[in-house]
Amino acid sequence: MHVQWFPGHMAKTKRMIQEQIKLVDVVIEIVDARLPISSRNPLLEQLVGGKKPRVVILNKEDLADPQRTAYWVNYFNQQSECKALSFNATVGKKQLIAKLKEALMELTAEKRERQAKKGIRKQSIRCMIVGIPNVGKSTFINIIAGKKAAQTGDKPGVTRGTQWIRLDEDLELLDTPGILWPKFEDPEVGFRLAVSGAVNDEVFDIDEAAFKLIVFLKERYPKLLQERFKLDDAIMEEEPLAIMDQIGKNRGCLLKGGRIDYSKVSKGILIDFRQAKIGRITLE
């Protein structure tokens, strides 16, 4: 699936990260639990990889398949100098901060020990928050800060500048705007980012995205697909296009002459997926 989106402010963000990375102890990378690999920016790997320890936050875990989330948390925890936590907007602040600090203390233990031997007094842990657009960085910050410290929105690219946020004497966070990369080499990555809402709906074919999502759901989550859209057993044996047609008929998404309004059907399917109305689904 062809998706290309690289607004000018994202190039600026790349330069910001390059300049600020030396000032932090740990990088906190926010990914979408529904697509934890596809929502990792390879540009960030170039900018950050190997330079700083990392905490990977699998955000929106309440929208994702819990079994797959457990798998991916374990996957990231197996990597050197990396800790993974699952998270959603309903997690309590105290619980989240406790888990986050535990991970940060473990990742910075050697550095703090070296500082203590040199007689350097206790210093706060400085973290940079990174991630692609609309992955939930600002929501994450606002929850642990206990206030609206970062601007949020349901469209990609809301955060436009860096800002330091001090949580307490132990922890400081540097928020950065979401950043995508100029070219998605794998069309499947483009598809996953599109249906999850990471890129603007205007830069990809919504009908194609919804069709590919139906193909995926039919293969991996057929029961959820059937229940959400009230499909009978017979139609589930048909091709994905026939399933889309039936969804259109069931929802009254029709044009003159009884033709299917694919634009309306497709938008509804994507909205249902993004809001987990179909169910808790992981795309990889």
Cα separation, 84 vs 31, in Å, equals 10
Q: Which CATH class is domain 205-274?
A: mainly alpha
Q: What is the pLDDT of residue 2?
A: 57
Q: Work out the average pLDDT over 129-148.
A: 80
CATH, range 8-175: 3.40.50.300
Q: What is the mean pLDDT of the chain?
A: 85
Task: Convert the pLDDT of each residue in 241-276 to its tens digit.
Answer: 999 999 999 999 999 888 999 999 999 999 999 999
- Residues of CATH 3.40.50.300 domain(s) within the chain? 8-175
Nearest in space to 254 (alpha carbons), one of 238, 265, 243, 244: 265
Higher confidence at residue 217 or residue 105? 217
Q: What's the chain's length in residues?
A: 284
Q: What is the pLDDT of residue 157?
A: 43
pTM score, two decimals? 0.85
- Residues of CATH 1.10.1580.10 domain(s) within the chain? 205-274
Q: What is the pLDDT of residue 178?
A: 67
Task: Convert the pLDDT of each residue in 30-69 to its tens digit.
Answer: 999 999 999 988 777 777 767 789 999 999 999 999 999 9
